[in-house]
Amino acid sequence: MQIDVALITNGAGTFDQALQCLAEQTVRRPVTVIRDRPWLAAQDDANAAGEREWYLRVDDDMWLHPHAVAFYEQRLELLADADDFATLCMFWCYLYQPWDRQIVPSIKVYNREASRRIGFRAGRNGSIHDQDNQFLTDAPRWGYHVLSDTSVVGLHVLRSADDQARYQRLWIAETPTLPVHKPIVTTALSPAEQRGGLNRLARLNQERGTTFAAFLEQNK
């Protein structure tokens, strides 16, 4: 089951490498680049771009493992045999943050028609995280459901120590029920050092016993 890819950017210095990671995928799929749009508008643009039933939304601070797109396509192909596949609107996996060594949600593939019906709208505080939660809240009201997978299929990267600290403070503020994992990082990792995190993904997935680990073993 082939998917489209939408890459959303607001000019982050990590964009070029995010695009390069998509160019290095073991299966090449159309990539639509959406530039300098507010989050809700970018979501709508991503939904409107492309013609395939499912599309992967990639932000410019997400660097994907070379097998990530192929893995999503295989998972959707397998899920298509389930009785409730017709009501699946989103499937997501995890990312690894090399700058604080945390595994975090999420990178998502959306069903195009279902997400159009559900719609993307602002949550209470207008943050990206809150808007994502709003979609999850709205989905069952329209008769849809979401699935997640413990697989870690890429990196969440930041271009400076200031970016790293700002992101971690934002995440802690927006998710007060989550434990605070580690102190905020104060030493920046270079892009090359962060990209090295891709080499850790196979071992991380083996340790977690994920379906991505099995997929990588089958596709050596």
The pLDDT, as a whole number, for residue 112 is 97
The pLDDT, as a whole number, for residue 134 is 87
The pLDDT, as a whole number, for residue 184 is 42
Whether the pLDDT of residue 51 is over 50: the answer is yes
The pLDDT, as a whole number, for residue 206 is 96
The pLDDT, as a whole number, for residue 129 is 64
Domain boundaries, position 190: 4-218
Q: How confident is the model at residue 185 (pLDDT cuts 50, 70, 90)?
A: very low
Between residues 17 and 194, the one the model is more confident about: 17
Residue 77 · residue 96 · CB < 8 Å: no
What's the Rg (C-alpha) of the chain? 17
Residue 46 · residue 57 · CB < 8 Å: yes
How does pLDDT run across 199-214, given as a tens digit for each residue? 889 999 999 999 999 9
Please tell me the number of Cα atoms within 13 Å of 70 on its side-chain side: 14
Per DSSP, the residues of 94-143 read EEEETTTTEEEEEEEEEEHHHHHHH-----SS--HHHHHHHHHHHHHHTT
Q: How confident is the model at residue 173 (pLDDT cuts 50, 70, 90)?
A: low
Whether the pLDDT of residue 103 is over 90: the answer is yes
Residue 55 · residue 8 · CB < 8 Å: no
How does pLDDT run across 139-167, given as a tens digit for each residue? 999 999 999 999 999 999 876 667 666 66
The pLDDT, as a whole number, for residue 186 is 42
The pLDDT, as a whole number, for residue 196 is 76
Average pLDDT over residues 57-73: 95
Average pLDDT of the chain to the nearest whole number:
86
The pLDDT, as a whole number, for residue 220 is 83
Question: Residue 9 belongs to a domain with what CATH number?
Answer: 3.90.550
Number of structural domains in the chain:
1
